[in-house]
Structure 1
Amino acid sequence: MTHDFVRPLTLTLGHLYPDQLNLYGDRGNIMTLQYRCQMRGIQFRAVGLGIGDALAPDEYDMLFIGGGQDKEQAPVAQDLYELKAIGLWAAIEDDMPVLAVCGGYQLLAHYYRPAEGPDMRGLGVFDAWTIHKGPRSPRCIGNIALSWNGSTLVGFENHGGRTYLGTAKPLGKVLKGSGNNAEDRTEGAIYRNAYGTYLHGSLLPKNPHFADHLIYLALKRKYGEEYLLAMAGQTEPSETADHAAQGLHQNGTVALAAEKKTENSLKPSDILTPLDDKLEWEAHAYILERLGLHSAALTALSAYKK
């Protein structure tokens, strides 16, 4: 059920450095977000932001930055720090969802020290740093699984650098694989709604629950809980919700009502129509099985079947 005041939902994603940072199927993450939005009638648009392009945070609802080789990261690091830093920081502090993979993850931490050459200065979004211990040090490569939010995430990692966390909260705990550094069983980092990870382009295709989490965060930030619940037919429209829907801030977010629900009261499943994710969860479970995590594989499949 929908109401007359409900307008079509729209999301715009800013894709940072699509030509430089595009290893290991990272574009698959954007394709997954686009597909899952379109299947629900959410208008989705991805805009590339290359070297020399300014980042105006009020033009986007989500941001993505992928991974690349060291030689490609150097000019990106300079552009990110000199041109896009202010806009990116403003977006993150305003709780815009950001997904940063591998090289992108490293550049959102304090610095990356490559095997050769000077340090690459990062933005310090994540209280973390990365050190490549040299060509003789084994790479962290292969399938990986980690615990996340009461569930599991699976993916593929391939990185030579070792990332160490300061006060940053990890994305998850490594069940099998290397993760941040192959030492402390941490993987990724979180700051507000920004997520850094070494899991490449199989991340969102094989983890539909995490893809929906990012979509949910973007919608919640832009439209507010009351409007989304009314859109989903779970509440009757109110004057407050109507005003919120019409009164978008300049940065695309809405002023939420004082009586809005608590942050933990709304889940992605409350506002996002379920999709047929049978193949996605079978692929997810297959990786868990290959890693010897048989119990986790059964749990993943049973969770989907519910």
Structure 2
Amino acid sequence: MRLQDPQKPKARITLVHLYPREMSIYGDLGNTHVLATRLRRHGYGVDLVDHHPGQKLPAGAHLVVGGGGQDSGQARVEADLEDNGPLLAALARDGVPMLMICGMYQLFGHDFTTVDGRRLPGLGILDVTTRGNTKRMVGPVALQTPFGDVVGYENHSGSTVLGPDQEPFGQVVAGFGNNGDDGTEGAVKGHVYGTYLHGPALPANPAFADALIKAAVDRVVSRGFEPEELDDTFADQARKRQVARLTAVRRRGLRERLLRR
């Protein structure tokens, strides 16, 4: 589907949304909207492709997005993901930026074992493993990342552990993150990002959105990404407010725990 584009786009970018019906139930479709909108505002044309199970994945994808879903949704895309796994892995090695949220983050790891013991194999693009448990990790999140403060909302029962050399996406300032224990959130390898941040993740974090866009455009255009000046005032205010509120709540909680000792 071709969206409304600038009259003379600097270049055309193919944006692929993996499994929008099965794996986009927590507002993650908003990430696709943000990327497409910001691409157009930066002066680039966008070809948006919704990839559904049984379809052929575009080999010329420039930017790939996937969202969260229930265990049943992950099971429904398992066969298609296995079929397209070699192409997705090749695109990842070639530097195609990808953002995988929650359930798709888990499936980009080695495997996800559900709470009832069923193992869903992953692609192994990210060196992470996930196990389901009865405890849900729910609430607002603030992270420190290479893109500055990043905020979002998590809602997952999967507990993810990073491999020994796997870099996290960020360090938890407030929230649970990958597992509620080690202070890490998400994972990144090259330009592939996995994270539990819903909300969706990108509207309040434009610097991160533009980093994904830059990685895509740099592969397409020899002169590289040429950004326009965009007004991100509201997004910046929302992010700063959430960071300040969560930091204050965390400090108050730490102080109360110290006083009870």
Taking structure 2 as the reference length, the TM-score comes to 0.88
Report the structure number with the largest CA radius of gyration.
1
Aligned-pair identity in percent equals 39
| Distance in 1 separating the partners of 2:212 and 2:144 | 17
> Counterpart in 1 of 2:71?
70
> Counterpart in 2 of 1:212?
210
Asked if the contact 1:51–1:76 (Cα under 8 Å) also holds between the matched residues in 2, the reply is yes
Asked if the contact 1:9–1:42 (Cα under 8 Å) also holds between the matched residues in 2, the reply is yes
| Distance in 2 separating the partners of 1:216 and 1:293 | 34
| Distance in 1 separating the partners of 2:244 and 2:136 | 23
Equivalent pairs counted in the alignment come to: 241
Higher helix fraction (1 or 2):
1
> Counterpart in 2 of 1:93?
93
Give yes or no for the alignment of 1:27 onto 2:29.
yes
Q: CA deviation at 1:150?
A: 5.7
2:229 maps to which of 251, 267, 274:
274
| Distance in 1 separating the partners of 2:59 and 2:192 | 14
Secondary structure at the counterpart of residue 182 of structure 1: coil
Q: CA deviation at 1:285?
A: 1.2
> Counterpart in 1 of 2:174?
176
1:102-113 to structure 2, matched below 5 A, reads 102-113=102-113
1:152-163 to structure 2, matched below 5 A, reads 152-163=149-160
Asked if the contact 1:57–1:90 (Cα under 8 Å) also holds between the matched residues in 2, the reply is no
> Counterpart in 1 of 2:258?
none
Asked if the contact 2:112–2:122 (Cα under 8 Å) also holds between the matched residues in 1, the reply is yes
Taking structure 1 as the reference length, the TM-score comes to 0.76
Residue type at the aligned position of 1:36: R
Q: Which segments of structure 1 move beyond 6 Å, counting only runs of 4 or more?
A: none
Asked if the contact 2:172–2:183 (Cα under 8 Å) also holds between the matched residues in 1, the reply is yes
> Counterpart in 2 of 1:265?
none
* Per-residue Cα deviation, 1:134-165 (whole angstroms, up to 9, x for no partner): x3xx2111100111116111001100010000
| Distance in 2 separating the partners of 1:51 and 1:153 | 31
> Counterpart in 2 of 1:129?
129
> Counterpart in 1 of 2:10?
8
* Per-residue Cα deviation, 1:157-210 (whole angstroms, up to 9, x for no partner): 100010000021100111110000000000101111100000014210010000
Higher strand fraction (1 or 2):
2
| Distance in 2 separating the partners of 1:285 and 1:116 | 39
* Per-residue Cα deviation, 1:199-244 (whole angstroms, up to 9, x for no partner): 01421001000000000000111113xx23xxxxxxxxxxxxxxxx
Q: CA deviation at 1:117?
A: 4.3
| Distance in 2 separating the partners of 1:220 and 1:8 | 12
| Distance in 2 separating the partners of 1:178 and 1:222 | 37
| Distance in 1 separating the partners of 2:171 and 2:239 | 17
Gaps of at least 5 residues in structure 2 are 1-7, 250-261
Residue type at the aligned position of 1:272: P
* Per-residue Cα deviation, 1:275-294 (whole angstroms, up to 9, x for no partner): 01111111111211220259
C-alpha root-mean-square deviation of aligned residues, in Å? 1.6
| Distance in 2 separating the partners of 1:293 and 1:150 | 22
| Distance in 1 separating the partners of 2:9 and 2:209 | 23
